[in-house]
């Protein structure tokens, strides 16, 4: 295929996305930003699955990416519900301020 992109570029992009997400999780204190950074890391994993699926020509990577997308959707819905509940009770989404679960 003449327009095929080499797998190493996909893997480099996935590594960069994963590192950006990991950096955001470790540095940021806003719970919403942490969720977005986790989504970035999951999408980096999806990119890796799909790159290897393209390389080997099978559907295993696509199935894995589908499961990761399902887990990410569940994580986002449950996580956002928790963040909204915490914001309503405490008035903040700063992780430093919501360390304890009791009132």
pLDDT digits 0-9 by tens, 45-93: 999 999 999 999 889 999 999 999 999 999 999 999 998 998 898 888 8
CA distance 95 to 6: 40
- pTM, full prediction: 0.83
* Structure tokens belonging to residue 5: 């992109």
pLDDT digits 0-9 by tens, 7-29: 999 999 999 999 999 999 999 98
Give the 3-state secondary structure of residue 92: coil
2: pLDDT confidence band, cut at 50, 70 and 90? low
Tell which residue, 23, 73, 13, 21, has the closest CA to residue 47.
Answer: 13
């Amino acid at each position: 295929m003449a327009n095929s992109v080499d797998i190493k570029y996909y893997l480099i992009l996935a590594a960069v996305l994963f590192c950006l997400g990991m950096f955001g999780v470790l540095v940021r204190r806003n719970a919403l930003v942490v969720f977005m950074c986790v989504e970035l890391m999951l999408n980096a994993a999806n990119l890796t699955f799909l790159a290897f699926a393209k390389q080997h020509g099978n559907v295993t990577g696509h199935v894995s990416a589908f499961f990761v997308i399902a887990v990410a959707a569940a994580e986002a819905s449950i996580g956002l519900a928790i963040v909204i509940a915490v914001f309503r009770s405490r008035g903040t989404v700063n992780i430093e301020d919501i360390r304890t679960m009791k009132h």
